[in-house]
Amino acid sequence: MGKQEDFVLRALEERDVRFVRLWFTDVLGFLKSVAVAPAELEGAFSEGIGFDGSAIEGFARVYEADMLAKPDPSTFQILPWRGEGPSTARMFCDIVMPDGSPSYADPRYVLKRTLSKAAEKGFTFYTHPEIEFYLFKDTPQPGADPIPVDRSGYFDHTAQSMGADFRREAITMLESMGISVEFSHHEGGPGQQEIDLRYADALSTADNIMTFRTVIREVALSQGIWATFMPKPFTTHPGSGMHTHVSLFEGDSNAFFEAGAEYQLSRTGRQFIAGVLRHAPEITTVTNQWVNSYKRLIGGGEAPSYVCWGHNNRSAMIRVPMYKPNKGQSTRIELRTLDAACNPYLAYAVVLAAGMKGIEEDYELPREAEDDVWSLSERERKSLGIDPLPRSLHDAIGIAENSELLAETLGEHVFDFFLRNKRAEWDEYRGQVSVFERDRMLPVI
């Protein structure tokens, strides 16, 4: 038993922990949880806790269903919303096969594998997500329009605001679980909020995002409201993105930083951007995985629809932020495609893989987009070499199917399952007769 495991076993007694929830994430990004008694933990650390992998979305074929969840002791935290003494704790798990090898279906493993490939080249991947979500007055009712908790907008400061009270309670809870929050504010849509987590290595960030979603939902329920990370709940209001600022470090130094270079962006930084741009259409089905995701990327609402980059250009897919003249170690790029309903492990894995490809194969960075790309004509965009992002889940799947980068990064099993699942989602969707069609057609034809 290692030091961290000992620490956890001691904490169980000191904090009077009665239940330990073992958390892991399915291929679509939903959190799974099994509660174990503290007495089971020694065994869980050495061998794992068995479960039926074939009952988890994307995990296993029925004939190889036995899998084990092995808790990662470095992720031990008390769950604040379950109260203290007796209390409930949680740890994230790695999923292993009965022979002890990592499960090819575990999204956390997909990310770990991609991170270690980058580590072989000397790089650590850091991410800082800006997570947007809506708050509604009630639990969702089928067929009914959701009612936002307020009518405020971007950065609004509102007296006795539900959003501000909500953010304060949620942030206090996140901080008590070791998740640092940097900024929070009201976003553009009514009832829409944003909370930005402090940068951390991508594995910790992905774990933190899973915790974040849980905390936000718990706090909302405790206040009698409903939180959603749905990418585009309204036709006429902005969607919820998960812009992510990313950087690569070599030891203690930021590999994207070069003093004196344009935007202080190193050659490595430029190659990384070039990689993410070139492979963007292939990985969009992972960074934007739902039918609904593409309604956010329609143009406007500050969500990207074209493959391009710019410094301080909020219509671009990648932005090089220029807030501070001497960015130094904080040099980073902002990816604006990701939405708040992606699987963070898979999304960060494919983004890193695309960026690394740019570095390994020395991709040339295209010219930056200086204009508002939405205001250009189709022709102007073409002449500037600015391609559209996939316009629907269907388009995104079609491009993804032929992507070697995606197959290699996700691994064959996750790649196949994911595309099969997404095709099924599209097929179900395309047969739906919508309110839009009825309202347009019934009166006239």
Binding site for ligand GLN (CB under 6 A): 132, 188, 238-241, 296, 301-303, 336
Per the listing, tokens 């009825």 go with 438
130 is in an annotated binding site: yes
Distance between CA atoms of residues 425 and 169, nearest Å: 36
Distance of closest approach, residue 314 Cβ to ligand GLN, in angstroms: 6
Distance of closest approach, residue 314 Cβ to Mg ion, in angstroms: 8
401 is in an annotated binding site: no
360 is in an annotated binding site: no
Distance of closest approach, residue 41 Cβ to ligand GLN, in angstroms: 41
Give whichever of 333 and 405 is closer to Mg ion, judged by the CB atom: 333
Distance of closest approach, residue 6 Cβ to ligand GLN, in angstroms: 43
Q: Which option in Mg ion, ligand GLN, none does residue 238 bind, with CB closer than 5 to 8 A by kind?
A: ligand GLN
Q: In 10 A of CB 138, how many CB atoms?
A: 12
Identify the three-state secondary structure at position 434: coil
Q: Which option in ligand GLN, Mg ion, none does residue 302 bind, with CB closer than 5 to 8 A by kind?
A: ligand GLN
Distance between CA atoms of residues 279 and 281, nearest Å: 6
Distance of closest approach, residue 349 Cβ to Mg ion, in angstroms: 21
x-or-dash string of contact with Mg ion, 193-212, rule CB under 5 A: -x------------------
Give whichever of 199 and 415 is closer to ligand GLN, judged by the CB atom: 199
Strand (E) or helix (H) holding 14: helix 3-14
Distance of closest approach, residue 301 Cβ to ligand GLN, in angstroms: 6
Distance of closest approach, residue 192 Cβ to ligand GLN, in angstroms: 7
Q: Which option in Mg ion, ligand GLN, none does residue 207 bind, with CB closer than 5 to 8 A by kind?
A: none
Q: Which option in ligand GLN, Mg ion, none does residue 335 bind, with CB closer than 5 to 8 A by kind?
A: none
Q: Which option in ligand GLN, Mg ion, none does residue 58 bind, with CB closer than 5 to 8 A by kind?
A: none
Give whichever of 132 and 207 is closer to ligand GLN, judged by the CB atom: 132
Query: By Cβ distance, which residue is nearest to Mg ion?
Result: 243
Give whichever of 29 and 301 is closer to ligand GLN, judged by the CB atom: 301
Give whichever of 243 and 332 is closer to Mg ion, judged by the CB atom: 243
x-or-dash string of contact with Mg ion, 237-276, rule CB under 5 A: ------x---------------------------------
Q: Choose, by CB under 5 A, the member of 72, 130, 207, 282 that binds Mg ion.
A: 130
Helix count and strand count (H, E) for the chain: 13, 18
Q: Contact 184/194 with Cβ under 8 angstroms?
A: yes
247 is in an annotated binding site: yes
Distances (CA, A) of 296 to 17, 115, 194, 288, 387: 42, 29, 16, 9, 17
Distance of closest approach, residue 243 Cβ to Mg ion, in angstroms: 4
296 is in an annotated binding site: yes
Q: How many residues does the chain have?
A: 445
Annotated binding site for Mg(2+): 130, 132, 187, 194, 243, 334
Q: Which residues bind Mg ion (CB under 5 A)?
A: 130, 194, 243
Query: Where is the binding site, in residues?
Result: 130, 132, 182, 187, 194, 243, 245-247, 296, 302, 314, 334, 336
Binding positions for ATP: 182, 245-247, 314
